[in-house]
A and B are shown apart, each in its own frame.
Chain A
């Protein structure tokens, strides 16, 4: 029976026919021949839940996923905005009904209690404590054996269990039972982990009538950007990462992320980047029935003093170039606009890192500086990985005379080398000096037409019987 198809979830109609989750599909089919079964897609369920979690930020910033089928909202101090708990519940029910969802809501003093009340409460009770006491022991969500044990001992409800001494419960049903019970009764606190961390600076606007035009939404966004800019100016800060949330009235949320390479509080810049982001979206933002809440958050801020213009307009020029980097990063993606950072190593291909230009920071190492009067010793273009070439060379360690690269032969007319670059044996995991990597002998060579290449032999003849040659780069 292990590999049988089972029901993962059932709707209300199916439940009323006696079907339950966990039941083998064949049995269910036998009972209800007209059963409509859909394959369970866990990822899609999760994505849908996350989307609703995004939408629930309209009620409170503290939203946590309660997988696989719940959301936990900490609405402490937020309910008055919608006319108390009843108003909030009515609003949630209305929105969820519009999405075709059935919801079970519960308010409680602790997340655990709310979780249990939403799922296991069968009868109404006069207050929260009484309701919790009436819950069946299944609501503790222990291992099936432990639950079975509780039921066999005649303990049917949480209240009955709570009357027993904790020590004896721990002895018979395990410490998990005690922890679960204490959390349910509100004796042990377990705070929820909000899904989205709080942004330090936010500005938002709610609309009585949904905004159905994207242009208008952008105009609102620019007002919000000015508002956020004022908040940042008071703190002497500028934003590096901005996020715009467009809440659609049917519960969907569109997120726009933009980043700047230098702290900024220029609303025009933020708006320009948002526009850029909108244009680069694969599917245009569809306002649907309109947005009823627009929020701009500044996710990352950095100190930014009042700008001072330099002589010759240097600061202005720099700002323009930084703006260009931001625009291109927003349009192409942050990993596609890069700057080079030096690394402290002598292995040629590891000597530079390509980092997103919007992340520009102070480099940790310095670039090597060439000697005056020397020709270029490193190529402008580097192949990583190096490209294998066929070479005619003196054995054992002579320069190449002729080589074939990309199906063409090149006669070497001038060369310089070898420049011997050893492997970094001190970085080897086992610290084995005797089993170091292969040494590379680099040659700068020039062919008959004047093209200059950087080639190397991977390994000395002592290290390897037939070392392979590679082309690593090309000089100008």
Chain B
């Protein structure tokens, strides 16, 4: 009997590794892959909770959105359904979500479901409904502006729904200031210069993140993270090898004739 249980566990592990590695297995924490960050968080971000992501500066909204997408991919793996809910305003100001761009981050556009609500109230209602769905691993909810509808009660409702179903909710709060909420962690995400590739080309996505608040533990730390698409993991840019020297092929910045 004992043996068969062990066999069963082993089989389960094997299946999980086939289905997308450790990411999918039922760990309580989502490891980011960045050692320092994971150590500080006690293994990673808590699964089945709400995590708030703010833009460090007004222009960093796109970086914060990308960071949310990466965290969601990290949470559920590339093939699992990923819901991204936004309001009409986001579609207007932030542009469309672009499938080929999601592939470039390691995701699969076929598993992306976009929900577009007419206003914040409808958005929050849909978010609560989606967070209650146990089949869903991760959910990104994008809000813009102050959103007075997203008060402590609404936030607690989302947190309870997520806790109950086990879905992890990334609440992207663009153009907003932090207010009291039931989120497990709160982050400020900013873009950071990437490690240049050959010929001074922009490299892998790099972020400067700050832990603004955490329910259980100290906050205020900052990290610099780089996203590795092939491993679907964050890494420390300082540890990922030396900066590639500038190629001699690149035409020097001579003969500058500036056009208007």
Q: Please report A residues at the B interface, Cβ cutoff 8 Å.
A: 311-312, 316-321, 323-325, 327-328, 331-332, 336-340, 342, 348, 351-352, 354, 357, 363, 367-370, 372-373, 375-384, 390-395, 398, 401, 408, 413-416, 444-446, 448-452, 473-476
Contacts and interface: CB of A to CB of B under 8 A. Distances in A.
B194 A450 contact: yes
Interface in B53-110: 57, 59-60, 62-63, 65-67, 69-70, 81, 83, 94-105, 108-110
30 contacts: A312-B12, A316-B135, A324-B83, A332-B126, A337-B115, A338-B113, A354-B96, A372-B230, A375-B202, A375-B203, A375-B204, A380-B69, A380-B101, A383-B96, A390-B260, A392-B260, A394-B257, A414-B193, A414-B203, A416-B199, A444-B202, A448-B193, A449-B57, A449-B190, A450-B206, A451-B191, A474-B62, A474-B95, A475-B202, A476-B205
A340 B102 CA distance: 11
Nearest to A406: B59
A331 B85 CA distance: 14
Nearest to A280: B122
A352 B99 CA distance: 7
A410 to B, nearest CB: 9
A415 B200 contact: yes
B202 A381 contact: no
Contacts of B258: 392-395, 401
Interface of B: 12, 15, 19, 57, 59-60, 62-63, 65-67, 69-70, 81, 83, 94-105, 108-110, 112-118, 122, 125-126, 129-130, 133-136, 190-194, 196-197, 199-206, 208, 227, 229-230, 255-260
Given A331-B126, A394-B256, A450-B194, A324 B102 contact: no
Given A351-B99, A450-B193, A414 B259 contact: no
B196 A414 contact: yes
Residues of A contacting B: mostly: mixed
B105 A444 contact: no
Contact of A336 (B70, B98, B102, B116): B116
A352 B109 contact: yes
A117 B228 CA distance: 80
A328 B126 contact: yes
B40 to A, nearest CB: 22
Contact of B113 (A312, A357, A372): A357
B135 A379 contact: no
Given A324-B130, A451-B62, A476-B62, A446 B94 contact: no
B101 A378 contact: yes
Given A339-B110, A339-B114, A370-B229, A473 B95 contact: yes
